[in-house]
Structure 1
């Protein structure tokens, strides 16, 4: 299989990926880069050699180096879902807050007539019990003497912190 056939396969996969990304509303940056670089590699042999050399340099050497590169890439991929989750959680929290406010307003609207009706019924019961309470004399209560208020400040209370 020749080098042109490999670059053509990568180009066609990149085009498919780009079409799927556009159709689903996903990110088009990475498939666009794949299409751009593989298309440039198909047009010019020097670009293909440069891209191939870069991949060989990046992944040649020890298996530990390759594992570190792949592991680092996987760790970077893990950040994206976490940030998207936080972004979605903030949106969901805003929706929940709005729904709670609307439900509280609706509950308040429904409870006001109930509170008025309950207050009227309690008032009727208190009015019926009032003659019973006034008919009983519990005894004579002693008068309570109240202390005289302290003399007013001649300067006035506004001058307390002057």
Structure 2
């Protein structure tokens, strides 16, 4: 009634069962573009770090298949590292317009995030003078941005 599988055939079936998901994952079927590390600094007009400023890279030519926007938040020294898919991974190659919002700091952790300290001056791509081209190379640095 039941046929006995030979050990070699069982090993082949098991190998195929484990290898297929690995091979499929390596084919880039998730639609993600390659990203390249991009970092920079953002300062207030008084030359102090713009702690908490949100820096967004908006593609000059958006890809409707990939709506992701590289984004970062400035740390205590004004440094930021772009994130597209995973924290600090970078941005896809291409031309970008940089938009920035700078939320009013919270007084307590329970307080909602405040309004934009820049009053929207750099919040829209058509208003921002800041541009950057991400190349297909590692560790790129955006020139320092000083906020108005």
Give the TM interval when normalised to the shorter protein.
Answer: under 0.3
TM-score, structure 1 normalization? 0.22
Pair member with larger Rg: 1
Higher relative contact order (CA 8 A, sep 6+): 2
Identify, as 1 or 2, the structure richer in helix.
1
